[in-house]
Amino acid sequence: MFGNRVTLFKLLGFEVKIDSSWIILAILITWSLAEGVFPAYFEDMPASNYWAMGVAGALGLFLSIIFHELSHSLVARRFGILMKGITLFIFGGVAEMSEEPPSARAEFFTAIVGPVSSVLIAAVFYGILQIGEASGWPPAVNGVLFYLVWVNFLLALFNLLPAFPLDGGRVLRSILWSRKKNLLWATRVSSRVGSAFGVLFIAWGLWEIIRGNFIGGLWQSMIGLFLRGAATSSYRQMITRDLLSGLTVDRFMTPDPVTVPPDISLQRFVDDYLYRTHHRIYPVVKDGELVGCVTVKKLKNIPRDEWAQRRVAEIAAGCEEAAAISPDVQAMTALDSMNRTGTSRLMVVDKGRLVGIVTLKDLSEMLALRMELETPRQ
C-alpha cells in the first residue's frame, strides 16, 4: 500500500509517519480550497488570504486525521492489539495493525471509535466557530473553522459506509463475526461488500467525468479503485494468515542449503556459486557453524580486479537479524519479515548452526497448495 515513508513524530507511544503520496493530497486540498471553495463562499478577499485559508484548512485536516487514527490505535492497544503506528497517505490515514483483533467485540469498538472521534472533533470545531462568530473573528478564520466542521462530519459519514476495510466495513465484519463465530467467513462477506462499493464509486466517478466534472470524477474513481483493491487484498491477507496459522518455518524450509566456505576467493565464489545458483545472499559456513553472510551488494563494493586475491571471509559480515530466523518461528512471522525487509531468503539458524533456508518461493508454494486443498469454494 505504501511507498517511501518518513516518521514525523511519536505520539502516545505510536509513530506517526507520512507517505510520499500524502504530499500530493496536501497540495490538491490546499489548491482546491484556495482556488475553489473559499473564493466561492467568501468573496472579495485578497488571493493571499485564500491561500492562507487553504494551508490552514489542509493543516486542520491533517490534525483531524491523526486524531481519528490515534483513537483507533488507543482502543486497539486497550484490547491488546499490537499497532505498528499511524501512516498518512493519499487516501487519508491508517492505523496499522500487526494482527487481527482477538474478538468481534474488539473489532467493533476499535472500528467504531474512528467515526465517533471525527464527530467529536467536528463538534469541537463547531463550538469554536460559535465563539468566533459571537466574538466577531475575521471571516477568514471562521471560514476555516466552518470547513473543518464540515470535513470532519463528512469524514465520519464516509468511514461509516459498510465498505471493508473502512471503519463501517469493519463494524459490519464484527457483527457478522459475532453471529457466525467465523472470522474468515465474515471477512469474505464484508470484503465483497467493500469491493461492490468500490465498483459503485468507480461508476459514479466515470459518470461525473462524462458530465464534465473531470477532477471530482477522477478522484471518486481513484477512491473506488482503492476500496476495491484494499477489500480484495485484505481478504487475501486474511486467507494467508489463516492457512499459515500454526505452521513453523521448519515445516517447509530447505535443509542442507548451498553454503560458501570462508577461505575461497571472491572470483571462485562468483564463478562456482553466484553464476550457478543465482541467489543474492549466501550463508558462509565453517565446520557447520554459520559465520556470516555474503551478498551481491557487498561484492559490488569490491573492485573486480581484486576478486582473485581477496577472500569471502573479508566481506562475510554477520547476517543481519532480518536475514536469520529460528526454525520454530511462525510461518506468518517469516513472511512478514520478508515483506518488511524486501528479502526473499531467510537463514534458518538453530543454536548458531545453519539448519536450512526458507525462501519466498517455499512460502508461496506451501500457501498455494494449502489454498487449493483447504479454502472452501465461494
Which of 361, 337, 330 has its CA nearest to residue 245? Answer: 330
Give the bridge partners for 141, in sequence order. none
Give the per-residue SS3 of the chain: CCCCEEEEEEECCEEEEEEHHHHHHHHHHHHHHHHHHHHHHCCCCCHHHHHHHHHHHHHHHHHHHHHHHHHHHHHHHHCCCCEEEEEEECCEEEEEECCCCCCHHHHHHHHHHHHHHHHHHHHHHHHHHHHHHHHCCCHHHHHHHHHHHHHHHHHHHHHCCCCCCCHHHHHHHHHHHHHHCCHHHHHHHHHHHHHHHHHHHHHHHHHHHHCCCHHHHHHHHHHHHHHHHHHHHHHHHHHHHHHHCCCEHHHCCECCCCCECCCCEHHHHHHHHHHHHCCCEEEEEECCEEEEEEEHHHHHCCCHHHCCCCEHHHCCECCCHHHEECCCCEHHHHHHHHHHHCCCEEEEEECCEEEEEEEHHHHHHHHHHHHHHHCCCC
Q: Is 69 a catalytic residue?
A: yes
Contact 371, 276 (CB under 8 A): no
Q: How far apart are CA 201 and CA 223, in angstroms?
A: 7
User: One of 15, 35, 43, 69 is an active-site residue; which one?
Assistant: 69
Residues known to be catalytic: 69
